[in-house]
Structure 1
Amino acid sequence: MDRQERKAAVAAYKERKPAWGVYAIICAATGEAWVGSSLRVDTQKNRIWFELGLGKSPHAALQAAWNQHGGSVFRFEELERLREDFPELERDDELKKRQALWQSRLQASAV
């Protein structure tokens, strides 16, 4: 990657819009699920997979399942995304409500 391409990539990264949403991590081996919410749901998988790969996830049950079964049996699903024009003052509460709803639907633990 030359200097111009790198500069363009950095600019594109800085200009991207937040993607507030709810996601699930599902273990195909056991059927267990974990649900979380994020201000950047589109990049959340990379963060979680990195933590799990290092053995440094703050979520003990998820880390234990990862260690036992390996990363290949896990999948990341974006369950829901808030619209970009969602009122800022209500955003955090709405994410919490939707996360709780999906946890109930999937009988999942929180991440």
Structure 2
Amino acid sequence: MKTENRKAATTAYKERKLIMGIYTVRCLVSGSAWIGQSTTLDTIQNRLWFTLRFGNHPCRELQRAWNDHGAEKFTFEELERLDNEDLTYVRDARLKERALYWRSLLGGFAI
């Protein structure tokens, strides 16, 4: 990649609008749901599936279910998108609040 192209790609990446929100990963066999929050909702599924495929996801229950049932028995769903907050602590507090709401509503586990 040429230097100009690399610089343009880096600038575009830094200036992209973050999509924040709450998501769920569901096991179709057991019916279990895991609820998480992310400041990069558009890329979180890829990151989750990568760590699960390699067997090193930090949520042991989710990793165990993945290992027992296989990737084809899991779904990813975006539950809610949130407005982007400039202040980090406000953003983080809002994400935590909404994740707790969805966990209680769906009876899901934290990721």
After superposition, the Cα gap between the structure-2 partners of 1:14 and 1:79, relative to the gap in structure 1 and judged at 3 Å, is: same
Alignment match, 1:34: 34
Alignment match, 1:73: 73
Alignment match, 1:97: 97
Alignment deviations for residues 18-74 of structure 1 (CA, whole Å, 9 cap, x no partner): 111111001111110000101111110010000000000000000000000000111
Provide structure 1 residue ranges, at least 5 long, that are not aligned to the other structure.
none
How far apart in 1 are the matches of 2:86 and 2:9?
30
Q: With the length of structure 1 as denominator, give the TM-score of the two structures.
A: 0.85
CA drift at 1:10: 5.4
How far apart in 2 are the matches of 1:58 and 1:40?
18
1:54 is the counterpart of 2:54: yes
Q: With the length of structure 2 as denominator, give the TM-score of the two structures.
A: 0.85
Q: Which amino acid aligns with 1:97?
A: E
How far apart in 2 are the matches of 1:75 and 1:13?
28
Greater alpha carbon shift after TM alignment, 87-96 vs 31-40: 87-96
Provide structure 2 residue ranges, at least 5 long, that are not aligned to the other structure.
none
